[in-house]
Amino acid sequence: MPLSSAVFLPLVLFVSVVTFEFSLADEKACSIGRHGTLTMFNRETADVELPCKYRLADFRCGDYRVKVTPGSAVDQEDSHRFSPDTVWVKVVNANTSEFVKIRTSVRRLDKFSELRTTNPWQVKEGSKSVVDFADYDESRAAAVLRKDGVFSVEFSSAERSVVVTCSDPEFVSEGLPESLCGDETTTDAMNNAMTTLFPGQGNMTDDALVSYIVLNHDNVVQSTTCKDLASKFTSCQYKEQAAMECVAIFADPSQAECLATSDTSLAGYYYDCLTSVCDGDTSAVDPMNNYISDNCGPWLEKSCDSDGDCPDGINATCFEGKCLCTPGYYYSNGQDVCVDGCPVADQQGEFLLYPNSAIGGYDQSLQMSLEECLDACAADPNCPTVSFVYVSNECYPHSITPLQDQVAFVSDFPNYADFYQKRCA
């Protein structure tokens, strides 16, 4: 079924420490920041990737009910990491039933900073008279929604962060699963909930567990795409297996970053995975697996049509239909980049193959097989490169690289010779 372009990535938990200054002894704050750093009301911290749009905070603070829903997006300028790019807030006065549903976003704040002609907050329903302040706070460099002495919601465009503060020590959080900020929203609490509700399912990772809880409550997710995911998940006969297998797809950040560059949203791939596990339709994940195979593996020796298909800024080039280091540069196994020099002690007994190429003018040749030729060069500290003429089994060890003699390097020996350069540590 068609899915919107909203993006889904399961929660990913890491060890992280974030500190906040509290102006009041009884004030509690919850925030989600750049790269998904979450600090809960109880000050526990974790790094999370927001799965779609759902309630970060849903709590009663004094006479006010506050629901805060951040939206996540792929930051194209920051390694395709996920950060909040918009936030919806609904505030309800429990005594009068007055309310306001209001939003702001990175785009709106950027426009406000440039023109100063519109309010940074856009009222969608109700009246902002229910709060005392709904404007841009220059001292905070953020859009702030505030009821003095009760609560505040702060959204920073520059920091891609949402901070919710409640000054009422008796505030009531909805807890799991509606709020990730409640005092009970901890890994232990989630595991306890799973043990109680789903006995025997104690072998799930933290990532899968949170994904399970969020998707298994369709009142949490709020976008059309996320509702499709929740609908598929709640009707799934194999929920635990689906949570574990589908979360694993995005557990590797580099793979998730790569998948985010395709025409299909990550939510779409997640839906395909759920279809595969829940419905037994294994072909549903074929498009994703094909994209991973073609685009998300190691860049070295990946198929290419032009230099644009290879990584930028690391001296890579498309050579004979494969991404390789520009001839003369060493491939560094440890750094996964191409370097212009490599100490002899770091030169490896592995080689990069440059087909149909050779260094000419250095004619010390040895009659031997290719395997013997490469072994001999690997054992020689003065042999960073070697050419092999396979039509006559001639081995030409070199003491230079194409960077040291670019004229001597010839990449036009079809069906005649191949060139090899050592890898670097």
- Cα(143)–Cα(135) distance, rounded to whole angstroms? 6
**Domain check: are 77 and 132 in the same one?**
yes
**Domain check: are 413 and 386 in the same one?**
yes
Distances (CA, A) of 348 to 321, 326, 398: 24, 18, 15
Which residue, of 276, 296, 316, is where some domain finishes?
296
pLDDT tens track for 245-304? 887 776 666 777 778 778 887 778 889 999 999 999 999 999 998 888 777 778 899 888
**DSSP codes of every residue in 162-175:** EEEEE--TT-EE--
CB environment 212-250: b (16+ within 10 A), e (fewer): bbbbbbeebbbbebbebbbbbbeebeebbebbbbbbebb
**Domain check: are 87 and 196 in the same one?**
no
Which residue, of 296, 320, 346, is where some domain finishes?
296
**CATH number of domain containing 167:** 3.40.1000
- Cα(151)–Cα(199) distance, rounded to whole angstroms? 38
Is residue 9 situated within a structural domain? no
**Domain check: are 267 and 345 in the same one?**
no
What is the domain range of residue 376?
A: 307-424
**Domain check: are 332 and 287 in the same one?**
no
Q: What is the CA radius of gyration of the chain?
A: 28
β-pairing, 142-147 with 366-367?
unpaired
**Domain check: are 38 and 167 in the same one?**
yes
Is residue 40 situated within a structural domain? yes
**Domain check: are 251 and 228 in the same one?**
yes
Structurally, the chain folds into a number of domains equal to: 3
**Domain check: are 201 and 140 in the same one?**
no
Higher model confidence: residue 265 or residue 388?
388
Cβ atoms of 12 and 4 within 8 Å: the answer is no
**Domain check: are 213 and 340 in the same one?**
no
pLDDT tens track for 335-381? 889 999 999 999 999 999 999 999 987 767 899 999 999 999 999 99
pLDDT tens track for 105-127? 988 998 898 877 788 999 999 99
Which residue, of 173, 197, 214, is where some domain finishes?
173
**Domain check: are 110 and 207 in the same one?**
no
pLDDT tens track for 152-192? 999 998 888 899 999 887 777 765 556 777 765 455 655 56
**Domain check: are 275 and 329 in the same one?**
no
**Domain check: are 245 and 314 in the same one?**
no
Phi, psi dihedral angles at 285 (to 5 degrees): -95, 5
